[in-house]
């Protein structure tokens, strides 16, 4: 994608949603970190449903350790891989207490040393908690980056590196949220909804998808 097209691409997404935010619910940096760890291979909707009561009771690493692994499992048992995730959350809470004064570190390398925290999770926390211009490449961003031609790459890291080079100011801070939301609600995995995409003319994907027959019929009848 050409530089001018990239600027236009993000300008349109920004116009539609000037201040995008994560759809995960949290109350502070610690609960954000926990929510992102829990969201691996799970939906934000499912994580939010499981953590609403949890985050009313637990908002610090100390409170999480006091809750314990079994207590945490009771809260998150509806989330995939909840056994492993509970173990990691308790372990990272203990590590935050012992190594970081119970604070979430504003450093990607330090975050990646926490149990259950990979590069994507660290990038999300750095962006949402500390305003860092990071690009957390999940399945949505990986798909959008490749499908549109914005940041093609064979691995999430390759797409991240392409985005680092391609995304200009003033769009860098919010770019990863725009791309996630675009992939989640418009540029969907099975069938992208090109007919309602605000950047379809800038996108390399071919052929463009058409609206479902029922939608086209309803629109035609409404025009009569």
- State the pLDDT at residue 221: 47
Determine the pLDDT at residue 47: 96
CB 208 within 8 A of CB 219: no
Is the per-residue pLDDT at 214 higher than 90? no
CA-based nearest residue to 183, from 125, 137, 138, 144:
144
| Options 3, 77, 109, 120, the catalytic residue | 120
Active site residue 120: yes
Q: Is 203 annotated as a binding residue?
A: yes
Segments making up each domain of the chain, as ranges: 29-130
Active-site entry in 16, 77, 85, 138: 138
The 10s digit of each residue's pLDDT in 107-162 is 999 999 999 999 999 999 999 999 999 999 999 999 999 999 999 999 999 999 99
Sorting pLDDT into bands at 50, 70 and 90, what band is 198?
Answer: very high
Q: Which CATH class is domain 29-130?
A: mainly alpha
In the annotation, is 77 catalytic? no
User: Residue 77, annotated ligand binder?
Assistant: no
Query: Is a pLDDT exceeding 70 seen at residue 216?
Result: no
The model's pTM is 0.88
Residue 220 has pLDDT above 60, yes or no: no
Q: What pLDDT, on the 0 to 100 scale, is given for residue 213?
A: 75
């Amino acid at each position: 994608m050409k530089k001018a097209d990239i600027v236009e691409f993000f300008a349109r997404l920004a116009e539609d949603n000037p201040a995008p935010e994560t759809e995960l619910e949290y109350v502070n940096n610690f609960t954000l970190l926990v929510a992102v760890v829990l969201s691996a291979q799970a939906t934000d909707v499912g994580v939010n449903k499981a953590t609403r009561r949890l985050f009313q009771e637990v908002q610090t690493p100390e409170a999480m350790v006091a809750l314990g692994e079994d207590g945490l499992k009771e809260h998150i048992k509806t989330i995939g891989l909840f056994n492993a995730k509970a173990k990691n959350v308790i372990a990272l809470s203990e590590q935050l207490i012992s190594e970081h004064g119970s604070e979430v570190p504003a450093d990607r390398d330090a975050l990646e040393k926490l149990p259950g925290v990979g590069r994507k999770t660290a990038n999300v926390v750095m962006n949402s908690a500390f305003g860092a211009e990071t690009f957390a490449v999940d399945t949505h961003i990986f798909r959008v980056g490749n499908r549109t031609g914005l940041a093609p790459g064979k691995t999430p890291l390759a797409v991240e590196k392409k985005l680092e080079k391609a995304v200009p100011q003033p769009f860098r801070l919010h770019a990863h949220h725009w791309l996630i939301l675009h992939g989640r609600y418009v540029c969907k995995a099975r069938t992208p909804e090109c007919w309602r995409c605000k950047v379809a003319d800038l996108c390399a994907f071919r052929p463009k998808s058409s609206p479902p027959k029922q939608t086209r019929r309803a629109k035609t009848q409404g025009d009569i």
